[in-house]
Amino acid sequence: MADRYLRFTGTAPGRFLTRSLGLPQPAELHRWSPEHPALKGEVLHLTAGKPAPDPAAPPAAVVLDATHVRDVEGLADVHAALHPVVRSVAASGRIVVLGAPPDPADHHQAAAQQALEGFTRSLGKEIGRGRTVNLVRLTDRAAAESTLRFLLSPKSAYVSGQVIEVAEDAGPDDVDWERPLAGRTALVTGAARGIGAAVAETLARDGARVVVLDVPQAEADARRLAERLGGEALALDITAADAGEQIAAALPDGLDVLVHNAGITRDRRLVNMPAERWSSVLEVNLASVLRTTDALLSSGTLGPGGRIVATASIAGLAGNAGQTNYGAGKAGVVGLVRSLAPRALAEHGVTVNAVAPGFIETKMTAAVPLLIREAGRRMNSLAQGGLPVDVAETTAWLAHPASGAVNGQVVRVCGQSLLGA
């Protein structure tokens, strides 16, 4: 469903009226397209505590190196670096702050680096004009290339206020940044429509051979999509006890990317929720994810260089009335990622991450009552809903062969929702 308010605020009368009434003024976001694959303008590189260059034109993005900040005095250098330029950043521009992991042996450094998190999230909520602000905590600068490419591109249009940790990783020797998944096989569950279909399309764009998995009732849609993408369809009930074994049998040559996207809702307040509504949601959204992940890792179907990307939700991070079952399942996905990620990398060479969508414009959200839908759209720093492609682009970054240093992360794709942390 079209966002008529967003269109109205793009007109001269709309801008005047919303400004006069103090209403949200969302800016149309610049997303990736073949015609516009990059931000328009230069990237301004700053270092806290050093003189800033004078940009010849408004920068499309600003990268501020604050990795060396170790005390409150250093935080003054962060302010001094960004204060003169923040207003000049172009619409739909980017600010990325580079920080360091807090040092448990140095509480002054830990305090200063943690302060950067509050700083970036606060700046993201005030900067406006479709601009985003994110913090990247670095251990290995070279390993951060895929993350910085993503955050400094139109692909990250709906990702803001996030803290992303990048560890050490040797990474592949040669990276095809245009088609990084060429020669790799990706399986997406619940992929016949909606966000899953967008993920499948984006991974195929990046070169992957995509297996479109969905329930037998959606087999026709899955096959149409798979044929269009040059992939294949797999009709399978992901809640089957042997779903993992069936997937492994269907992929004798192995799997490189596993995207857990399948999910359902059965909303009702707990006092009115029968056991079947509870168990069906937990079975699809969490139990099947645990079982299939265990099966595909133990069988070796997912091996070195593999990527697992699971779909969580801000409902699992912040909670949502009427969704105790859904919130529990999606919070469980977060727990799975944080626990499994270090072991999966150490034992199998596989990274495990999650995306946590906020309000995304789909057929499901189009059916939400008008006032609730409008609240969902406006209650984030970008004052608009996201699109399925926003979740897909974030998934593709986490699935990238050069993203091996990103592990155990839960990245919200929510326009910096005002709900939750």
Alpha helices in 37-190 (DSSP H): 72-82, 107-126, 145-151
401-403-406-408 Cα dihedral, nearest 10 degrees: -30
For residues 136 and 361, give the distance between their C-alpha atoms in angstroms, rounded to a whole number: 28
Three-state secondary structure call for residue 135: strand
Active-site residue (options: 5, 158, 326, 397): 326
User: CB neighbours of 303 closer than 8 A, spacing ≥ 6?
Assistant: 254, 348, 349, 350
Q: Strands 43-47, 61-65: parallel, antiparallel or unpaired by DSSP? A: parallel
CA 72 to chain centre: 31
Q: What is the DSSP letter of 43?
A: E
Mark whether 5 is an active-site residue: no
Place of tokens 């399948």: 262
**Alpha-carbon span 81 to 95, nearest angstrom:** 12
Residue 367 to residues 117, 121, 158, 287, 370, Cα–Cα distance (Å): 36, 31, 22, 27, 8
Phi, psi torsion values for 312, nearest 5 degrees: -95, -145
Which of the 8 DSSP states describes residue 283? I
User: What are the catalytic residues?
Assistant: 326
